[in-house]
Amino acid sequence: MSLFGMPSIDLLSNQIAAVLDDPATTHGLARALRAVAKEIELHRHHHTSQRAWPNGRINQKPSKVQIGGGSHHIDGFFNIDAVPPADLLWDIREGIPLQDDSVELFFSEHFLEHIDYPRSAKNYIREAQRVLVPGGQIITGVPDAAFALSQYPGPLNACDEMIERWYAKRDCRSDINTRLDLVNLVFRDQDDDPKYTPHLWAYDHEKLAQLFTEAGFTAVAPWTFDSTIANPKRRWGSLYVIATK
């Protein structure tokens, strides 16, 4: 609690809002504060759920779980995300709030690159290993960094297709002009739009296989895109693997 009786996180949040409203605030400080404001939002959601489940394990035992699904609903899957809509609001960087040996299938796409590597990415994969039943599986889809790199250097028209497919609707679209801009965006997506969280690490098949093997998974193989589970808009330019515990 602060001196004035207001929880310090609320006080901090109000102060950030006031500084962001001030036209004298520099661009660099505003960027940093918007990132903190976003983390405060995640922190609030996470702690509301944590108060309901103080030992870090929820009562439900879903057998199929989607992580970071956003608005992509999959029938029969329990969706855990840091922000609404979700069946459970939980910051996965704090662990997976499920019982050991309880889940048969995990699914995530375009999620892993948004959490920090190595601490949170490795912790997430270790947690998935703990929570899966023996023989359980985890499907992971990411932007295919090897594919993006294979376009550089290359014919500009092939890159144009990639830019249009991935970034046509983004605020930053008009600033993605060259092949290297595309590579930069895949590796360090930094759109100022507050809806977007940055890309913090890039993945190819070799890196995903290394991560799952290191965490104790017995097999890692390419996963064939199935639009009854995966988001159809992710089909192009994504890489999916399936790992077995």
Ligand X SMILES: C[S@@+](CC[C@H](N)C(=O)[O-])C[C@H]1O[C@@H](n2cnc3c(N)ncnc32)[C@H](O)[C@@H]1O
Using CB under 6 A, list all residues that contact ligand X.
68-70, 72, 81-83, 91-93, 109-111, 114-115, 197, 231, 234
Q: At closest approach, how far in Å is the CB of 193 from ligand X? A: 12
Other residues' Cβ atoms within 10 Å of the Cβ of residue 88: 18
> Which is closer to ligand X, CB of 31 or CB of 233?
233
Please, what is the end-to-end C-alpha distance for the chain in angstroms? 44
Residue whose pair of structure tokens reads 């375009």 in the numeric block: 110
Q: At closest approach, how far in Å is the CB of 238 from ligand X? A: 9
Cβ atoms of residues 76 and 64 within 8 Å: yes
Q: At closest approach, how far in Å is the CB of 1 from ligand X? A: 26
Residue whose pair of structure tokens reads 């601490």 in the numeric block: 119
Count how many residues are written for the chain: 245
DSSP per-residue codes, 5-34? SS-HHHHHHHHHHHHHH-TTS-HHHHHHHH
Q: At closest approach, how far in Å is the CB of 84 from ligand X? A: 9
Q: At closest approach, how far in Å is the CB of 77 from ligand X? A: 11
Other residues' Cβ atoms within 10 Å of the Cβ of residue 39: 12
Cβ atoms of residues 134 and 100 within 8 Å: no
> Which is closer to ligand X, CB of 107 or CB of 217?
107
> Which is closer to ligand X, CB of 69 or CB of 136?
69
Query: Can you read off the two tokens belonging to residue 36?
Result: 């903190």
> Which is closer to ligand X, CB of 11 or CB of 234?
234
Q: At closest approach, how far in Å is the CB of 183 from ligand X? A: 19
Question: Which residues, 6 or more positions from 188, have their beta carbon under 8 angstroms from its beta carbon?
Answer: 198, 199
> Which is closer to ligand X, CB of 86 or CB of 163?
86
> Which is closer to ligand X, CB of 62 or CB of 68?
68
